[in-house]
Chains A and B, each alone.
Chain A
Amino acid sequence: MKKYTTGQPQAQPAWRWVGERGLRVATGSATLARYESLMSLNLADVEDIIPADDSLLLILRRAASVSPALSLALAGPLPDSRSGAGRPRHEIAVAYGGAAGPDLQALAKQTGMSEAAYIEHHAASEYTVAFLGFQPGFPYLRGLPAALQAARRASPRQRVEPGSVAVGGVYTGIYPAGGPGGWHIIGRTGAALFDPKRDVPVLLMPGDRVRFVPA
């Protein structure tokens, strides 16, 4: 890769290739800021940018290489990181436990608290959408208290109901559609997380704030 001597004070972020079109860029805690700064540039050679946990995946157009403009953009300074103020806040009504949350009882036991306490803590936190993935519109929500975290189920469920609110590792999330799933299901919401016919097909966008309200 060419080296550019631009005098930029910041080191070029580390990247690695996924095939010859996928550029995985380590972004640490500045993932969303870097995502927004790259999106605002509308770079011609970039077909898509997928935010994830602590990295972005840039998908280059077929046969495109890393242009000087992209290289500069990756090395450039970030705008002030967002505090989250001004981001949309969503309240998601959840029916916790019972048939709607078949894993709540075992999960509460595993974490050493009562079901009521687990629900109370889950609903008391404010979450931030880190990124979407797994399924269209599936939000990975950051902010799950450490006491509520649990490794994914040893064997995934064959069928998770649409709207299932779940816990997997450090995240809580919501399954927009039915299908197999490996997270612990603690409740269900009627909120429509994904509708391809809407102008904006997803209910929650990276950076949005979320609170769960027991129904």
Chain B
Amino acid sequence: MIEVLRSGLCDLVMDLGRPGQGAYGVPAGGAADPGALAAANCLVGNDAAAAGLEIILSGPRLRFPRGGVLALTGARFAASRSSGAPVAWNETLVLAAGEVLTLDRPEAGCRCWLALRGGLAVPRVMGSRSTFLPSGFGGHCGRPLQAGDVLRCGMPENDMKLLRATPPPAAMEGCLRVVAGPQAAQFDDAGLAAFFGSPYRVDAASDRRGLRLAGAPVSHARAELRSQGVLPGAIQVPPDAQPIILGWDGPVTGGYPVIAGVITADVPRLAQLKPGDAVRFVTIEVEAARALAAVPWEIKELA
């Protein structure tokens, strides 16, 4: 059980989303770094798909009236426990009854995931416990947590051990790796040179629907394009020539040319981009991207 003493900027209940309903116009959604949530769940003996919290930029203060076994993954936040015990990331943590966990601001990046043994027992909507903010359903009442909210847990199903997790190696700096997109040929030389040769800044008007970028114009032929299916990581370029990287809760179809798509292995890096960050792009081949996507988190028993 969790009592929310103070909410963060936007604490959302998330699981691994609701893939397979694109034909209804519903995106898969779910944790922005599914590997990080799955690892946190593993650390507390949950199924990978149990629901936890996705916390961004400014964290909540949470009380655990019955204590609990929890784990944090993703960006490290300045954090404290009322017991004075350290708050380790990527490790199983055991909290005593009545302990309070306070998450402040991230040291780098912007999102972390909190899993609690048993998983958060909010109702499933369309097969998932993930919050879908654009339509206000799923998660806890379809909205971010507020002070006073009480979240209940399910019954633990698996045995557990004290564990430590290590994410797959991923450069936290350097270029975002992309596969050239379906309309890459619609962009002129100047547009391609700008996109692959200059940095872009993440704009403040970014959220789980999309990351808006600002930088050198990515010029292209303004041909009328038919609506096409898109997925998170697809980089659309509207007529204003400023690219948008579609996010987890973005639309399932779009009518702007797609210059490239961020590879799955770099989606965890998308999840850590915040307004003001700079990004650059570099292309890789589909087969190489697929091999990178197959690298799992490493989980070991705590010695």
Enumerate B186-239 residues with CB–CB distance to A below 8 Å.
Answer: 224, 226-231, 233-234
| Other A-B pairs beyond A22-B234, A134-B25, A169-B224, 17, CB < 8 Å | A17-B181, A17-B286, A18-B230, A18-B233, A18-B261, A49-B23, A50-B22, A50-B23, A52-B253, A55-B229, A57-B230, A62-B264, A63-B294, A133-B227, A133-B254, A138-B25, A179-B134
Instruction: Decide yes or no whether A209 CB sits under 8 A from chain B.
Output: no
Is there contact, CB below 8 Å, between A202 and B25?
A: yes
Q: How far is the CA of A21 from the CA of B291 in the complex (A)?
A: 12
A201 touching B24 in the complex, CB below 8 Å, given contacts A21-B231, A22-B231, A133-B252: yes
Q: In the complex, what's the smallest C-beta–C-beta distance from B295 to chain A, in angstroms? A: 9
Chain A residues with CB below 8 A from B48, complex form: none
Instruction: Decide yes or no whether A132 CB sits under 8 A from chain B.
Output: yes
Interface size counted on chain A using CB atoms at 8 A: 44
What are 17 A-B pairs with beta-carbon distances under 8 A? A16-B182, A17-B181, A17-B261, A19-B178, A19-B264, A20-B290, A22-B231, A48-B21, A53-B228, A55-B229, A57-B22, A59-B231, A65-B287, A133-B229, A136-B135, A197-B125, A202-B24
Is there contact, CB below 8 Å, between A56 and B182?
A: no
Q: In the complex, what's the smallest C-beta–C-beta distance from A138 to chain B, in angstroms? A: 6
Give per-residue flags for B21-43: 1 if the beta carbon is below 8 A from chain A beta carbons, else 0: 11111101000000000000000
A18 touching B182 in the complex, CB below 8 Å, given contacts A52-B226, A53-B226, A201-B126: yes
Chain B residues with CB below 8 A from A65, complex form: 287, 290
Is there contact, CB below 8 Å, between B289 and A20?
A: yes
Is there contact, CB below 8 Å, between B229 and A132?
A: no
**Other-chain contact of B24, A53, A64, A132 (Cβ < 8 Å):** A132
Give per-residue flags for B135-164: 1 if the beta carbon is below 8 A from chain A beta carbons, else 0: 101100000000000000000000000000
Q: How far is the CA of A17 from the CA of B233 in the complex (A)?
A: 12
Q: How far is the CA of A62 from the CA of B33 in the complex (A)?
A: 13
Instruction: Decide yes or no whether B121 CB sits under 8 A from chain A.
Output: no
**Other-chain contact of A63, B178, B228, B293 (Cβ < 8 Å):** B293
A140 touching B19 in the complex, CB below 8 Å, given contacts A65-B290, A132-B25: no
Q: In the complex, what's the smallest C-beta–C-beta distance from B115 to chain A, in angstroms? A: 20
Q: In the complex, what's the smallest C-beta–C-beta distance from A14 to chain B, in angstroms? A: 10
Of all A-B residue pairs in the complex, the 10 with the closest CB atoms, nearest first, are A57-B229, A133-B253, A19-B261, A50-B229, A50-B22, A20-B289, A53-B226, A132-B25, A16-B182, A63-B294
**Other-chain contact of A133, B25, B179, B181, B231 (Cβ < 8 Å):** B25
Instruction: Decide yes or no whether A24 CB sits under 8 A from chain B.
Output: yes
Q: How far is the CA of A53 from the CA of B261 in the complex (A)?
A: 20
Is there contact, CB below 8 Å, between A63 and B22?
A: no
Chain A residues with CB below 8 A from B135, complex form: 135-136, 177, 194, 196
Enumerate A63-100 residues with CB–CB distance to B below 8 Å.
Answer: 63-65
Q: How far is the CA of A169 from the CA of B226 in the complex (A)?
A: 10
Is there contact, CB below 8 Å, between A134 and B251?
A: yes
Enumerate B251-303 residues with CB–CB distance to A below 8 Å.
Answer: 251-254, 258, 261-264, 286-287, 289-291, 293-294
Is there contact, CB below 8 Å, between B23 and A21?
A: no
Q: How far is the CA of A16 from the CA of B182 in the complex (A)?
A: 5
A134 touching B253 in the complex, CB below 8 Å, given contacts A18-B258, A62-B264: yes
Instruction: Decide yes or no whether A212 CB sits under 8 A from chain B.
Output: no
Chain B's closest residue to A18 (CB) is: B261
Instruction: Decide yes or no whether A137 CB sits under 8 A from chain B.
Output: yes
Instruction: Decide yes or no whether B20 CB sits under 8 A from chain A.
Output: yes
Chain A's closest residue to B246 (CB) is: A18
Q: How far is the CA of A197 from the CA of B135 in the complex (A)?
A: 12
Instruction: Decide yes or no whether A131 CB sits under 8 A from chain B.
Output: yes
**Other-chain contact of A17, B23, B24, B179, B252 (Cβ < 8 Å):** B179
